[in-house]
Amino acid sequence: MVLKPIVNIMLLLATLTAFSQDDLYSSLTIPDDLKKGANAVVRLNEMHVVIESQNKILISLDRVVTVFNEKGNQHLQAGVGYDNHIKVKKIEAVIFDENGEVLKKKKKRDFIDYSAVDGGTLYSDSRVLFLGYTPINYPYTVKFSYEVESVNTAAIPTWRPINSYFLSVEKDSFILNDQANLGLRSKEISFDEFQVKKSTSSNTLSYTISNVPPIKPEDLSPSLNSITPYAMVAVEKFHFNGVDGHAKNWNEFGNWIRNSLLKGRNEVTEKTKQQILDLVKGIDNPIEKAKKVYEFVQNNTRYISVQVGIGGVQPIAALEVDNLKYGDCKGLTNYTQSLLSIAGVKSYYTVVEAGKEIIDFDTDFASLEQGNHIILGIPNNDEMIWLDCTSQIHPFGFIGDFTDDRKVLVIKQDYSEILKTINYPDSINYQFTKADIKLSVDGSINSEVTIKTKGVQYDNRFYIERKSKKDIDEYYKEYWGNVNNLEINDYSFENDKEDVEFTEKIKSRAQNYGSINGDRLIFAPNAFNKNSFIPNRYRNRKLPVEIQRGYLDEDSFSYTIPNEYVIESLPENVSIKNKFGEYFIEFIQDGNKILYNRKLKILKGKYPKLEYDLYRNFRKKISKMDNYKIILKKL
């Protein structure tokens, strides 16, 4: 409902235009409201999907995009992925100038063919055919089309017509025909808000969206994907890279993964088996056993991703991980599960959409497209302990902000289901900074700082203990960029994996921290946790506000001031509490000492767009007060 206001604006702006195909190639025919604020316009994106049999699906696309400037080039999306199971039968493009005159025609052999391996992957058989074109003038238009034949009826493309900021859509349609009657299922989201036209039958689907002006990104807004329309489509009887399947809900889907992808892949060597048995000998508590096994996996494996054929969804066998001592998320999770079962500990292979942004599985629509990572769940009474088996350094049961607080598919022996992973509440994402600071006559400070972090804040910091001296030095100089001239004299760390708490102790010195102005020495008491984040100002905020994770910072800094000075003025104490969080500072004078206490709590929450300015004002106040100065005067 939060969305309504935006949509109304869009409806006002949208105008209906009738056009012939040829009109699309000239950029002169684009309605003004689609041009304003857009880097490119999708004139037409028409996808036809025909399912001929359980292992034959034909996908064809006609896409016409007009690009207005350099930034719009990325929206051409004139490429297609393929591998051994996906054949590109046709691919071509025609490039038109502003007036719709043909500039160039590109055949299949003109497309660039390269490996679609990302940085984290050792090898993948995925490849991409991509149009390489240097535009000579803007605007220009590209008509791009392809036909692809694939065996993967489990991977029907998700329809997501508005997938970028600064991109408007003149017309986008999706037409599907399930000729094989495999049991078509679909789920449509945010269709009404964007007036998507839809018609369906038991084996056909058709969606059309028209005249959507571009959306501009705004700070602290929900992700574009969560507010724009999309449709997920699947068939009950499907096929993926050589494996058949059948599922209409998550339980059946979980069964398919268990029986077709995981089954029989849990053997390990006799030697490893014995090692595990020795490791857990004498331990009764399953969680204590699991800790030992997790530590074993962390110490003996590493993350390497190799994706070949069905390997995109099927783990390499535990035995192979045992020999190679590496695997990807699937392989390492399956391996850990195998070892846990040797130790007599039950655990669940769990599919998740990982990333800092929280993305849920759809509870009532099962499909292969959802999820990009695998973790392991260990039942512990009524709750679940989650393990990320790809990390060699995370504490047992701590998954940080990579997979927290989201709906995931848990594959069980009897009944697979959607569950939610652990949520780290605001007050658990905690940081406490304590500092003893000696201020000298010349304005320099000598400080001993202790920082303790927990929860997601732990996740953001504990990795630094593994860095080199030079990097650590630089890390603190960046972190305390507000302290000019900082020198790090000494540091030590303590990583308490049991309680998931990280402690940093840093000794530092900074010349000229306080500024000398005639008889006065002026300094900012918040030396070591200054928060100057203020989100952008928008004259006309369009999107709602979302803060996905909250946190709590507490600080206690004690300043010893030089004998030659007295306090002339201390800022006032402040205490603010509102729906977004809390901010509190106090100044306590005690002889030649000043104690500065501070608390900042930001809550997780969703707010309508009208409240954006309130939140921004709150952050502005915090930024201002974090910059308060204490003024000392010479005796």
The footprint of another protein (CB under 8 A) covers 37, 69, 71, 112-115, 117, 122-123, 134-137, 216, 299-300, 302, 304, 306, 323-326, 392-393, 466, 468-470, 473-474, 477-478, 481-482, 484-487, 512, 515-520, 522, 534, 536-539, 568-569, 620, 623-624, 627, 629, 631
Contact call for residues 600 and 547 (beta carbons, < 8 A): no
Nearest to 433 by CA among 514, 524, 530: 530
What is the DSSP pairing of strand 501-510 with strand 581-590? unpaired
Q: How far is the CB of 288 from another protein (least distance, A)?
A: 24
SS (H, E, C) 214-237: CCCCCCCCCCHHHHCCEEEEEECE
**What is the rounded distance in angstroms from the CA atom of residue 439 to the CA atom of residue 561?**
5
Question: How far is the CA of 445 from the CAs of 339, 471, 484, 571, 633, in angstroms?
Answer: 53, 23, 11, 20, 17
SS (H, E, C) 277-291: HHHHCCCCCHHHHHH
227 or 486, CB closer to another protein? 486
Q: How far is the CB of 226 from another protein (least distance, A)?
A: 22
181: left (phi over 0), alpha (psi -120 to 50) or beta: left
301 or 350, CB closer to another protein? 301
Q: How far is the CB of 184 from another protein (least distance, A)?
A: 37
117 or 419, CB closer to another protein? 117
Contact call for residues 526 and 584 (beta carbons, < 8 A): no
111 or 240, CB closer to another protein? 111
For residue 610, give both structure tokens: 């009208």
Q: How far is the CB of 196 from another protein (least distance, A)?
A: 27
69 or 372, CB closer to another protein? 69
245 or 395, CB closer to another protein? 395
304 or 595, CB closer to another protein? 304
276 or 486, CB closer to another protein? 486
349 or 396, CB closer to another protein? 396
Q: How far is the CB of 223 from another protein (least distance, A)?
A: 19
Q: How far is the CB of 510 from another protein (least distance, A)?
A: 11
Which residues, other chains included, contact 617 with Cβ-Cβ below 8 Å and sequence gap of 6+?
none
105 or 624, CB closer to another protein? 624
For residue 11, give both structure tokens: 């409806």
For residue 597, give both structure tokens: 């206490």
Contact call for residues 211 and 34 (beta carbons, < 8 A): yes
> For residue 381, which amino acid is it?
N
273 or 629, CB closer to another protein? 629
For residue 570, give both structure tokens: 């201390």
Q: How far is the CB of 331 from another protein (least distance, A)?
A: 13
Q: Identify the helix (H) or strand (E) that includes residue 9.
A: helix 4-13
Grouping H, G, I as helix, E, B as strand and the rest as coil, residue 186 is strand
**What is the rounded distance in angstroms from the CA atom of residue 239 to the CA atom of residue 246?**
8
193 or 626, CB closer to another protein? 626
Q: How far is the CB of 301 from another protein (least distance, A)?
A: 9
Q: How far is the CB of 452 from another protein (least distance, A)?
A: 24
> For residue 437, which amino acid is it?
I
Contact call for residues 172 and 158 (beta carbons, < 8 A): no
Q: How far is the CB of 620 from another protein (least distance, A)?
A: 7
Q: How far is the CB of 207 from another protein (least distance, A)?
A: 30
Nearest to 156 by CA among 194, 183, 121: 183
- What is the side-by-side strand order in the sheet with 593-602? 486-496, 501-510, 445-454, 430-439, 551-560, 593-602, 581-590, 574-578
**What is the rounded distance in angstroms from the CA atom of residue 622 to the CA atom of residue 577?**
12
Which residues, other chains included, contact 185 with Cβ-Cβ below 8 Å and sequence gap of 6+?
233, 234, 235, 236, 248, 365
Q: How far is the CB of 155 from another protein (least distance, A)?
A: 22
Q: Identify the helix (H) or strand (E) that includes residue 34.
A: helix 32-35
| Helix intervals (H) in 266-383 | 270-280, 286-300, 318-324, 329-342
Angle (CA) 165-171-174 rounded to 5° is: 100
Q: How far is the CB of 281 from another protein (least distance, A)?
A: 18
Query: For the chain, how big is the Rg over CA atoms in Å?
Result: 29
Q: How far is the CB of 166 from another protein (least distance, A)?
A: 8
Q: How far is the CB of 381 from another protein (least distance, A)?
A: 33
466 or 577, CB closer to another protein? 466
* Crossing angle between the packed helical segments 270-280 and 329-342, to the nearest 10 degrees: 60
User: What is the torsion angle, in degrees rounded to the nearest 10, for the CA atoms of residue 533, residue 537, residue 541 and residue 543?
Assistant: -20
179 or 532, CB closer to another protein? 532
520 or 599, CB closer to another protein? 520
